Amino acid sequence: MSSKLVIITEIIAPYRIPVFNALALRKEIDLHVIFLSENDPGLRQWRVYKDEIKFHYDVLPSWRQRLGRYNILINRGVLSALNKIRPDAVLCGGYNYLASWEAACWTKVHGVPLLLWSESTALDRRRGHRLVEFMKSRFLRLCRAFVVPGRSSLKYLKDLGIPEERIFTAPNAVDIDLFVALSEAARRDEFQVRARNSLPRRYFLCVGRLVRAKGVFDLLEGYAQLDHETRAKIGLVFVGDGSDRSELMERASRIAPGTIQFPGFIHREGLPEFYALAEALVVPTHSDTWGLVVNEAMSCGLPVIVTSVAGCVADLVEDDWNGFVVPSGNPSQLAAAMARVASDPALRMTMGARSRQRIEAYSPAAWADGLVKAVESVCAREQ
């Protein structure tokens, strides 16, 4: 008999649909997802791929307001949705929304196991605020089990005193097959892809929000530190948008020689064309709980240069094996890693192949396996 699981998560993010679809295929789980909003247009411009959804879901009525760096999202209908579904377990994707606390109260009243899907790490810059830490500690006490994407999040929960037997790993994943197929098609049609996107013949790639916290100015400075000959041969492409884009473009205009491009925000199906022809993905972030662009780039067979604070590093990127891991906020180290990749075609090919090999274990099916184990564990204790 299957266990009825409700997942409560913020938006219909394109990278979540494949993992939820994979879980919905499992006979052990009767899945229902409650989204608190369709999208967050003030932060990202993601499309909502409803036609790809193969699981039961609801989108709750919501009111959203952004106050500085705080995102306030208030919903109606959480309790009525749970009363209608009557789940055997509830998984909350965080504790920072009122809906999560309403769901936690519902589970306590009805004796239903509550699980927390936690991506936080010890290096997460969102940590540290006294009120946030207080709320976190209270929410953790309400949870029977925890789901994490990888080693950094696992260690963080253990450091908070959570017994390891209550923590289950469901590795963060993207639709590997989609990125493999589209990147291979792009390489076969390289001339037209390069012309269509106005891409340099060779380039380093950065994908993400163009804000200071993502280390984009460090990357620009690191690129400027490359020798003239390297910059004349290899460009830098920033895919994405954000509040610091104008300043970044202005600074980029002062760097010569060098080709630096800003194609803007690219939707999921367009990204493999940029990954496919790049020398490497560079992720210069100052704080990132995971970094799914690394999964995407590795699916496309790229080396990855990433800062040590990214949550995915412990699982996905091995220094001098399938990429390079550098300190956060260090443009010189970024430049040294880029120079290594740029100067050694054989190294790029080897690292790219290793990335493809490693990412196979980080599939939607693997994520579903982790969720099934977590749900079966808490539901078994109730019997």
DSSP-assigned states of every residue in 251-319: HHTT--S--EEEEE---GGGHHHHHHT-SEEEE--S-BS--HHHHHHHHTT--EEEETTBTTHHHH--B
Contact predicate 139/101, CB 8 Å:
yes
| pLDDT score, position 128 | 58
Contact predicate 287/196, CB 8 Å:
no
The band of 367, judged by pLDDT with boundaries at 50, 70 and 90, is very high
Residue ranges per structural domain of the chain = 3-173+363-382, 176-359
22 vs 28, 33, 338, 353, CA distance in Å? 12, 13, 36, 26
Between 40 and 148, residue with greater pLDDT: 148
| pLDDT score, position 383 | 55
Q: Do domains 3-173+363-382 and 176-359 have the same CATH topology?
A: yes
User: What's the CA gap between 206 and 216, in Å, rounded?
Assistant: 8
User: What's the CA gap between 142 and 213, in Å, rounded?
Assistant: 32
With 60 as the cut, is the pLDDT of residue 126 above it? no
pLDDT tens sequence across 155-210: 999 999 999 999 999 999 999 999 999 999 999 999 999 999 999 999 999 999 99
Percent of the chain with pLDDT over 90: 88
Candidate from 70-79, 156-165, 245-254, 323-332 with smallest mean pLDDT = 70-79
Candidate from 44-53, 129-138, 211-220 with smallest mean pLDDT = 129-138
Percent of the chain with pLDDT over 70: 97
With 70 as the cut, is the pLDDT of residue 125 above it? no
**Predicted TM-score (pTM) of this structure:** 0.95
* Residue position matching structure tokens 């260090």: 330
CATH superfamily for 3-173+363-382 is Glycogen Phosphorylase B; (3.40.50.2000)
| pLDDT score, position 1 | 80
With 70 as the cut, is the pLDDT of residue 295 above it? yes
| pLDDT score, position 127 | 54
| pLDDT score, position 70 | 67
Contact predicate 267/289, CB 8 Å:
no
As a CATH number, domain 176-359 is 3.40.50.2000
The band of 375, judged by pLDDT with boundaries at 50, 70 and 90, is very high
Angle at 142 between CA 28 and CA 5, to 5 degrees: 20
Which of 39, 48, 28 lies closest to 88 in space, CA to CA? 28
Angle at 69 between CA 63 and CA 73, to 5 degrees: 15
Residues in CB range of 273: below 8 A, 6 or more apart? 182, 183, 186, 193, 196, 197
pLDDT tens sequence across 310-345: 999 999 999 999 999 999 999 999 999 999 999 999
| pLDDT score, position 268 | 95
Contact predicate 276/205, CB 8 Å:
no
Partners of 218 in the β-ladder = none
The band of 96, judged by pLDDT with boundaries at 50, 70 and 90, is confident
The band of 69, judged by pLDDT with boundaries at 50, 70 and 90, is low
User: What's the CA gap between 185 and 276, in Å, rounded?
Assistant: 9
Residue 319, φ and ψ in degrees, nearest 5 = -60, 130
